[in-house]
Amino acid sequence: MDLPEPNFEIIARKPQIVARLQTVLTHDAVIYDEHEVKAYECDGLSAYRCPPMIVVLPSSTEEVVAVLKICHAEGVPVVPRGSGTSLSGGALPTADSVVLGVSKLNKVLETNYDDRYIRVQAGRTNLSVTGAVEAHDFFYAPDPSSQLACAIAGNIAMNSGGAHCLKYGVTTNNLLGVKMVTMEGEVLDIGGAHLDAAGYDLLGLICGSEGQLGVVTEATLRILHKPEGARPVLIGYDSNEVAGACVSDIIKAGVLPVAIEFMDRPVIRAAEKFVNAGYPDVEALLIVEVEGSASEIDEQLALICAIAKRHNPVELRESQSEEESATIWKGRKAAFGAMGQISDYMCLDGTIPVSQLPFVLGRIAEMSEEYGLAVGNVFHAGDGNMHPLILYDANKEGDLELCEKMGAEILKLCVEVGGCLTGEHGVGIEKRDLMGTQYTDADIEIQLGVKDVFDPKWLLNPAKVFPLTLTESRRAS
Amino acid sequence: MNPTSETELAEAIASAKGPLRIVGGDTRKIGNPVEGEALHTSGLSGITLYEPGALTLVAQAGTPLAEIEAALASENQRLPFEPNDMRALFGTKGQSTIGGVVATNASGPRRIQAGACRDSVIGVRFVDGQGQILKNGGRVMKNVTGYDLVKLMTGSHGTLGVLSEISFKVLPAPEATATVMIDGQSDEEAVATMSDALGSPFDVNGAAHVAGQTVIRVEGLAGSVKYRAAELVKKLGGEVVDFDWTTVRDVLPFANQTGDVWRFSVKPSDGPKLGAALRETGAEVIYDWGGGLVWALSTGGDMRGLMGDIAGHATLIRGTGYPVFHPESTGIRLLNEGLRMKFDPRNILNVGRM
């Protein structure tokens, strides 16, 4: 992956830019020491690193405005950063950039249970949003695996999903409003506690724009009352194809589980070794979770188990207790970490039509043979959002490049069968150069036009999302 | 103009010499009147792909809504967002098209639980003001590849492009439905009841207050619906009744009456305050979305002005004399104008509609 050449003329002005930033922020909120800025050199896509020129940590919307006005006047690229958990390099700096971290913006501003929303500063972590309302038995639905660490700001930038979005939707379906600062330093209030837009749905446009249209400092989020209970069932099959068919049948049957998660043998074994989740050693494992009162859960699980049995499962086990349910989920949530114990890996995020699951899993297995790189699959099967983990050795010359080549081939396959490059992680730098497989130049050009409107000087997170060759003239101007 | 394919649509727009007025089924008369040659989408008709096992349906924009609903019903599925039928309210005839539904983001009572039309649309193909065929999103329900222009196109009333094909996430139709009705509540009591219901674990997907009756809906598997309806009666009072939700969805109480029809979106707890101000002018009021969607039938006057400092927006759905859409702040207006210039630089698509 190529990173754009930094602008040395900007880097030469670093002392002057630091001095200006220090006039609007406290001194400890402007980090410019070359050792200290290294803490911000990468995000969750840690194969790529580049220390930024400066890091700023504003404490209020007003401070964000002041910072952006300075950067706009100085012509300095700004890379917004939530908690730095992006798996696609969304928060990867360039050497000539100012990283704008929102971690100090973490307050709850308002909770309203009658109208079912919470208003928070955008640096607040995903899980602590639920933490702020769970005493009232409410929760915030989107639950990315990184929810302990990831910030709402990053969730909005990437339109993050999670395991339970089959029922509750992704970030964009749970976001009611934002306060956003444009690159020129203008504060916009978009949406609010009411539903839907008066005119164009700018909120929908901003969500998922990877920090390229503005810096979100506050968010109004929909909160929901917790269900009375939830219970998963484990279903094991001796082939991926049969597991895929079972998923499709469950969905078609009219019962909509909150989650249908899929793991294949390499991941099952790794997760089992890591956290002793009690998983059977099978080819494909489904975790299907339903919600409701005890009787409602029984009603739904009876239907699901009847469907599962028609496909001759090797194992079918309903969770019998809350502890067992927690253990079952622990294995799934730890799956990435467990694979990381075994090897370096690259996590893909393509989405495919559910009907194509067996075919795509078969093709991935073939590619794994061809490239000589092992692959584990763990993903949200209900919505077709796959997460193939390609294992490689970072210390072995050429292995990362081989892994990326195979990853690109898998993502192209996802697009070919009617899916997309990324379901919830975002394009970032990782899938930037593959955009042309999904979109024509004209499809991309209209998106670049949208950025022109919000950020005419192309200073906000400019080297992301789109192929560098297509954005070069805009970034240079 | 009556193109019968996306290519013909693109050619028609590229060769247009003046402004175009985009016409689907012409059943939803929402927005300012538009001058220009009529561009009909009815020739772009038909379901292109329907995969019940993937909860996905793709249709050309001119496909009648009724055809899509029938296809879904045959597989025991439905559109999640309960699009309304505006023919009675506007006194229009003909067939609502799916393109018109999407262009107006038409969303019914289930919006509070299943999301709006914009939440179910997962992909669009459209032709911009220069005659370019463009696409965004696709046919999978999780897709964050590039900017979400799907949301931008939904509800843009044909001012950014002419939709040619739309993909939807659909949902299973429920095995059972039940409505709990509480009779004789004031607006304040009704909104408090609806907030209680929507803040419960019982997955309420309809909450409205019309003609003194508060109605709360649950849907799902038969046993579950029976259980939740009983729990709601215990919590809120009232009884389980048969109720026709098209009354609320299609605003039927206002259908055969003269007067302006306004639609407000506010936070539910602000609903009764707005409702009281509206009623003081002699307007009739219906609440949907737990109190957050307020429909008003007015004999005249600027009902939007009654919002005062209440946050939200008002749309003049039927009637004249006031701006149809809520005035925007300068910052938002400039962004919207900038977007329109990018999507329709010749300024020919439904000019002045919004």
Judge whether residue A2 has pLDDT over 80.
no
> What are the structural domains, with CATH classification, of chain A?
8-103 (3.30.43.10), 108-225 (3.30.465.10), 230-321 (3.30.70.3450), 343-434 (3.30.70.2740)
d(CA A83, CA A257): 30
B149, A450: Cβ pair inside 8 Å?
Answer: yes
Q: Quickly list DSSP for A429-459.
A: TTTGGGHHHHS-HHHHHHHHHHHHHH-TT--
Tokens describing residue A259 = 């989650």
Distances (CA, A) of A333 to A326, A338, A387: 10, 9, 13
d(CA A224, CA A463): 37
State the pLDDT at residue B174.
94
In a mutational test of the A interface, the residue from B56, B121, B128, B145 whose CB has the highest number of chain A CBs within 10 Å is B145
B332, A188: Cβ pair inside 8 Å?
Answer: yes
State the pLDDT at residue B320.
93
d(CA B153, CA B168): 14
Q: Which of A40, A140, A57 is nearest to A102 (CA)?
A: A57
Contacts for A66 with CB less than 8 Å, ≥ 6 apart: A24, A25, A58, A185
Average pLDDT, chain A: 95
In a mutational test of the A interface, the residue from B126, B140, B198, B265 whose CB has the highest number of chain A CBs within 10 Å is B140
Mean pLDDT of A105-115: 98
d(CA A444, CA A95): 26
B54, A251: Cβ pair inside 8 Å?
Answer: yes
Judge whether residue A101 has pLDDT over 90.
yes
State the pLDDT at residue A248.
87
Phi, psi at A53, each rounded to 5°: -70, -45
Mean pLDDT of A4-11: 94
Judge whether residue A204 has pLDDT over 90.
yes
Using an 8 Å CB-CB cutoff, list chain A residues near B228. Answer: 296
What percentage of chain B carries pLDDT values higher than 90?
99
A385, B156: Cβ pair inside 8 Å?
Answer: no
State the pLDDT at residue A243.
93
Partner residue facing A199 (CB), from B51, B338, B354: B354
Using an 8 Å CB-CB cutoff, list chain B residues near A466. Answer: 146
Partner residue facing B326 (CB), from A198, A299, A424: A198
A453, B119: Cβ pair inside 8 Å?
Answer: no
Partner residue facing A450 (CB), from B172, B175, B342: B342
Q: E strands along B156-234, which residues?
A: 162-169, 171-172, 176-183, 206-210, 213-220
- Residue of chain B with shortest Cα separation from A226: B201
Domain range B6-172, CATH architecture: 2-Layer Sandwich (3.30)
A419, B140: Cβ pair inside 8 Å?
Answer: yes
In a mutational test of the B interface, the residue from A86, A114, A174 whose CB has the highest number of chain B CBs within 10 Å is A114
| Cβ atoms < 10 Å from Cβ of B308 | 9
- Residue of chain A with shortest Cα separation from B167: A418
Mean pLDDT of B310-335: 97
Residues of chain B with CATH 3.30.70.2860: 176-249
A424, B142: Cβ pair inside 8 Å?
Answer: yes
Please check whether residue A56 is in contact with residue A97, taking contact to mean a CB–CB distance below 8 angstroms: no
pLDDT digits (tens, 9 = 90+) for B249-279: 999 999 999 999 999 999 999 999 999 999 9
B111, A195: Cβ pair inside 8 Å?
Answer: yes
d(CA A46, CA A89): 8
pLDDT digits (tens, 9 = 90+) for B289-316: 999 999 999 999 999 999 999 999 999 9
Judge whether residue A477 has pLDDT over 90.
no
Distances (CA, A) of A367 to A55, A244, A364, A406, A435: 41, 19, 5, 7, 21
In a mutational test of the B interface, the residue from A195, A248, A303, A359 whose CB has the highest number of chain B CBs within 10 Å is A195
Partner residue facing B54 (CB), from A354, A431, A444: A354
Partner residue facing A114 (CB), from B133, B149, B268: B268
Does the beta carbon of A293 lie under 8 angstroms from any beta carbon of chain B?
yes
Note which residues in 267-296 of chain B have CB less than 8 A from chain A: 267-269, 289, 292-293
Does the beta carbon of B135 lie under 8 angstroms from any beta carbon of chain A?
yes
Judge whether residue A35 has pLDDT over 90.
yes
Distance from CA of A33 to the nearest CA of B (A): 34
Residues of chain B with CATH 3.30.465.10: 6-172
Q: Which of A169, A143, A148, A142 is nearest to A85 (CA)?
A: A148
State the pLDDT at residue A252.
84
Strand B133-137, strand B206-210: pairing: unpaired
A351, B336: Cβ pair inside 8 Å?
Answer: no
d(CA A43, CA A37): 13
Partner residue facing A439 (CB), from B111, B146, B315: B146
State the pLDDT at residue A336.
85
Judge whether residue A352 has pLDDT over 90.
yes
pLDDT digits (tens, 9 = 90+) for B157-206: 999 999 999 999 999 999 999 999 999 999 999 999 999 999 999 999 99
Tokens describing residue A15 = 């002392």
Partner residue facing A198 (CB), from B146, B221, B313: B313
- Residue of chain A with shortest Cα separation from B342: A449
User: pLDDT confidence of A333, banded at 50, 70, 90?
Assistant: confident
A205, B147: Cβ pair inside 8 Å?
Answer: yes
State the pLDDT at residue A358.
86
A296, B326: Cβ pair inside 8 Å?
Answer: no
Does the beta carbon of B133 lie under 8 angstroms from any beta carbon of chain A?
yes
In a mutational test of the A interface, the residue from B81, B105, B143, B353 whose CB has the highest number of chain A CBs within 10 Å is B143
Average pLDDT, chain B: 97
State the pLDDT at residue B155.
98
Distance from CA of A16 to the nearest CA of B (A): 31
Instruction: Determine the length of chain B.
Output: 354
According to CATH, the topology of domain B176-249 is: Alpha-Beta Plaits (3.30.70)
Tell me the pTM: 0.97
Please check whether residue B243 is in contact with residue B181, taking contact to mean a CB–CB distance below 8 angstroms: yes
State the pLDDT at residue A145.
87
Partner residue facing B152 (CB), from A114, A115, A201: A201
Judge whether residue A439 has pLDDT over 90.
yes
- ipTM of the assembly? 0.97
Give the range among A39-53, A333-347, B20-34 with minimum mean pLDDT: A333-347
